[in-house]
């Protein structure tokens, strides 16, 4: 196994801060509270910074390192189905698609959340319903994200959650760089 620095401190702090903020807003605090609103603003600010970091950050943080690709995602699903073990140093194709999904979902949640605080959209049912549907979508996505990280860790023999804590992946010989 080869230990490779993959996730820089910004990516790791962003990841865990969004986890904490989303969990707090989805599971703990009162949706009608000012705290809920401020956590939403904090998440929006973090996503904005992540978008900038995705353009100028370290190699595996940049969006260019994991462009959205349906064919690459299908290839990864084929690898999973056929038992082929192809490890990726940065995000895998399916992992990359999940990142885009989560970022877009968070932006939409923050957008609808903000809309609910304005005079124009306060109390408008479709905005509140859209916000709730988007939160539910993000929650389902998070469950799939966690399940996939655990399953791929076992399948590939790489502790993916640990790498998001330490910043390092222990890669098998022949992994895609």
pLDDT at 177: 54
CB count within 10 Å of CB 45 equals 11
Rounded to 10 degrees, the C-alpha dihedral 110/8/17/41 comes to: -30
CA-only gyration radius of the chain, Å: 18
Q: Tell me the residue range of the domain where 144 lies.
A: 2-171
- 70 domain-assigned: yes
Closest CA to 167 of 54, 89, 56: 89
* Residue 176 placed within a domain: no
pLDDT in the model for residue 174: 67
Tell me whether residue 87 is in a domain.
yes
Q: What CATH number did the domain enclosing 146 receive?
A: 1.20.950.20
For residue 176, the model assigns a pLDDT of 61
DSSP 27: I
Q: Is residue 39 part of a domain?
A: yes
Q: What is the mean pLDDT of each run of 10 residues along the chain (177 residues)?
A: 94 98 92 94 98 97 96 96 93 97 98 96 96 97 98 95 96 71
In a domain, 177, yes or no: no
CA distances from 127 to 42, 150, 163 (A): 21, 35, 38
Q: What is the number of domains present in the chain?
A: 1
């Amino acid at each position: 196994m080869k230990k490779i620095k993959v996730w820089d401190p910004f990516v790791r702090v962003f990841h865990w801060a969004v986890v904490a903020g989303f969990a707090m807003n989805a599971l703990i605090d009162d949706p009608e509270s000012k705290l809920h609103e401020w956590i939403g603003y904090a998440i929006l600010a973090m996503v904005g910074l992540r978008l900038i970091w995705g353009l100028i950050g370290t190699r595996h943080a940049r969006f260019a390192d994991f462009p959205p690709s349906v064919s690459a995602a299908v290839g990864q699903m084929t690898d999973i189905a056929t038992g082929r073990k192809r490890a990726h140093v940065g995000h895998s194709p399916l992992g990359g698609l999940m990142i885009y999904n989560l970022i877009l979902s968070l932006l939409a949640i923050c957008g609808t959340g903000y809309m609910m605080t304005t005079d124009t959209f306060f109390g408008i049912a479709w905005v509140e319903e859209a916000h709730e549907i988007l939160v539910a979508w993000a929650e389902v996505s998070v469950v799939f994200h966690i399940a996939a990280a655990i399953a791929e860790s076992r399948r590939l023999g790489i502790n993916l959650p640990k790498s998001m804590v330490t910043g390092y992946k222990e890669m098998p010989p022949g992994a895609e760089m």
